[in-house]
């Protein structure tokens, strides 16, 4: 047990012994890390199905737990260290194996609680919650998936059209000119990257510093719309701006250090999954193709370190199976998206899913939550939570909610 920073909660950092392969439980095992905020055995339980690492020193409740005054269990995703088998058989990093991890977590902790269970997650964590429901639909009483994309293939073109429609023509043109300006100043930008790398003690061995700059520029417009409103359009640097201003805006939009070795190796399990099952966005680069040194390099396999057994092959049937289940058999699901978030381009289609809703927060970004929805949609979402848990949600000012996004690939990376 650790000291809790959340009033009324006890805080535990736990480990659960898990099979590396749930089809062969007598073979290799690993310790999966869990964070438990315990309030009341009679209260609901919110299971946060993390798609990434856990950060035990950062304590917060996700929105459903805030609204329901619930107990909360946060589960680190398999293969994100330290929740990784050793040696690591990367073929076991699948959505079905991860769903089985969550099933065993629930089975282990359910006897402690009398209340109903809700699963939740944002971005890849929300995707993980949906995958778990596909394989174990009765494990929880409902699921709230925030800003969770459902990509089609490793270069889903839907993202291109969505991003191309954000902002007015002047803003779109300014952003394209900015991207070109960064690459036209490559020597100066590389000098700034090298100085920052020396200060931070990071390296660019996996990608190389030129390719890292290319990718930072390619993804910069996507990332701006992911997190910001259109007010940034008024301050996009131009050819008249100095190097410091151009660098500062790139750092704000998509910092090149995010493509350095420490960040990429920490996120390698995500890129493996994207290359093998999850899919990945497509990013516009035609307007800067003449300035790129590594055109076409922004694909998930670029971010997986080469090694034995580490050549992921994309299997489209994994996401096709999720689509078929969701639209025909899904039930008690809430999907929350932001109007301007590029990941909304690949929003889940709920089809004929029962007692399920998909909502889009007006003007919303990758930080969209229930309390940022239009009033009528918000009422429906809160009503669903009450129906599923038997507990009336406590309405709060969205500004008072603790941040939901924590330093991950599809979240705020700082």
pLDDT of residue 409: 38
Average of per-residue pLDDT across 108-129: 98
Q: What is the per-residue pLDDT across 25-66, written as a single tens digit (0 to 9) for each?
A: 999 999 999 999 999 999 999 999 999 999 999 999 999 999
Examine the pLDDT at 404 and tell me if it is beyond 50.
no
Examine the pLDDT at 405 and tell me if it is beyond 50.
no
Average of per-residue pLDDT across 220-238: 95
Helix-helix angle 186-200:209-227, to 10 degrees: 90
Q: What is the per-residue pLDDT across 135-191, written as a single tens digit (0 to 9) for each?
A: 999 999 999 999 999 999 999 999 999 999 999 999 999 999 999 999 999 999 999
Q: Does an H or E element contain 30, and which?
A: strand 29-38
CA distance 110 to 45: 9
Instruction: Classify each residue of 144-154 as buried b or exposed e, where b means 16 or more C-beta atoms within 10 Å of its C-beta.
Output: bbbbbbbbeeb
Examine the pLDDT at 118 and tell me if it is beyond 70.
yes
CA distance 32 to 104: 11
190: how many CB neighbours lie within 10 A of its CB? Answer: 15
Tokens 């589960």 sit on residue: 75
Domain boundaries in the chain? 10-153+316-400, 160-303
57 is written with which tokens?
């020193």
Average of per-residue pLDDT across 73-81: 98
pLDDT of residue 397: 57
> Residue 412's pLDDT band (boundaries 50, 70, 90)?
very low
How far, CA to CA in Å, does 309 sit from each of 9, 69, 92, 95, 164? 43, 44, 11, 18, 38
DSSP state of 232: G
**pTM for this predicted structure:** 0.94
Q: What is the per-residue pLDDT across 282-300, written as a single tens digit (0 to 9) for each?
A: 999 999 999 999 999 999 9
How far, CA to CA in Å, does 196 sit from each of 30, 144, 258, 354? 36, 39, 12, 51
Q: What is the mean pLDDT of the chain?
A: 95
10-153+316-400 has CATH 3.40.50.1820 classification: yes
Q: How many alpha carbons fall within 13 Å on the CB side of residue 144?
A: 29
| Phi and psi angles of residue 286, each rounded to the nearest 5 degrees, phi first | -60, -35
The closest of 48, 19, 14, 217 to 124, measured between CA atoms, is 48
Examine the pLDDT at 357 and tell me if it is beyond 50.
yes
How far, CA to CA in Å, does 402 sit from each of 6, 65, 66, 165, 398? 11, 11, 9, 31, 9
CA distance 272 to 328: 29
CA distance 87 to 109: 28
> Residue 396's pLDDT band (boundaries 50, 70, 90)?
low
Q: Which residues contact 205 (CB under 8 A, 6 or more apart)?
A: 261
352 is written with which tokens?
């004929």
Q: Percent of the chain scored above 90 by pLDDT?
A: 94
* CA dihedral sign, ordered 358, 361, 364, 370: negative
Examine the pLDDT at 398 and tell me if it is beyond 60.
no
pLDDT of residue 286: 97
- Residue 18 CA, distance from chain mean position: 23
Q: Which residues pair with 303 in a beta bridge?
A: none
pLDDT of residue 411: 39
Examine the pLDDT at 253 and tell me if it is beyond 50.
yes
| Phi and psi angles of residue 164, each rounded to the nearest 5 degrees, phi first | -65, -20
Examine the pLDDT at 399 and tell me if it is beyond 80.
no
Examine the pLDDT at 84 and tell me if it is beyond 90.
yes
């Amino acid at each position: 047990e650790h000291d809790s920073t959340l009033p009324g909660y006890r805080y535990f950092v736990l480990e659960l012994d898990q099979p590396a392969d749930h089809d062969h439980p007598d073979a290799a095992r690993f310790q999966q890390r869990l964070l438990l905020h315990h309030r009341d055995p009679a209260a609901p339980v919110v299971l946060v199905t993390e798609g990434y690492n856990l950060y035990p020193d950062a304590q917060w409740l996700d929105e459903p737990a805030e609204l329901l005054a619930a107990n909360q269990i946060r589960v680190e995703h398999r293969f994100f260290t330290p929740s990784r088998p050793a040696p690591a058989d990367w073929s076991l990093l699948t959505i079905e194996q991860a769903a089985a991890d969550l099933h065993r977590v629930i089975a282990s902790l359910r006897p402690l609680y009398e209340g109903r269970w809700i699963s939740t997650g944002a971005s890849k964590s929300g995707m993980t919650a949906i995958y778990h429901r596909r394989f174990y639909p009765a494990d929880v009483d409902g699921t709230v998936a925030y800003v969770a994309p459902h990509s089609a293939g490793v270069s889903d073109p839907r993202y291109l059209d969505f991003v191309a429609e954000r902002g007015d023509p002047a803003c779109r043109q300014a952003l394209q000119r900015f991207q070109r300006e960064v690459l036209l100043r490559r020597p100066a930008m590389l000098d700034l990257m090298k100085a920052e790398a020396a200060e931070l003690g990071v390296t660019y061995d996996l990608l190389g510093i030129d390719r890292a700059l290319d990718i930072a520029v390619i993804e910069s417009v996507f990332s701006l719309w992911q997190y910001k409103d259109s007010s940034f359009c008024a301050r996009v640097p131009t050819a008249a701006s100095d190097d410091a201003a151009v660098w500062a805006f790139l750092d704000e939009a998509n910092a090149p250090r995010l493509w350095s070795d420490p960040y990429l190796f920490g996120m390698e399990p995500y890129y493996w999954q994207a290359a093998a099952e999850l899919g990945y966005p497509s990013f516009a680069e035609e307007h800067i193709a003449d300035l790129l040194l590594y055109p076409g390099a922004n694909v998930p396999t670029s971010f997986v370190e080469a090694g034995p057994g580490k050549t992921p092959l994309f299997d489209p049937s994994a996401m096709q199976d999720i689509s078929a289940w969701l639209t025909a058999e899904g039930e008690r699901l809430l999907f929350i998206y932001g109007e301007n978030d590029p990941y909304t381009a690949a929003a889940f289609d709920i089809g004929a899913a029962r007692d399920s809703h998909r909502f889009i927060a007006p003007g919303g970004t990758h930080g969209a939550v229930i309390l940022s929805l239009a009033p009528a949609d918000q009422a429906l979402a809160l009503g669903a939570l009450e129906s599923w848990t038997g507990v009336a949600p406590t309405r709060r000012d969205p500004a008072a909610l603790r941040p939901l996004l924590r330093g991950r690939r599809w979240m705020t990376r700082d």
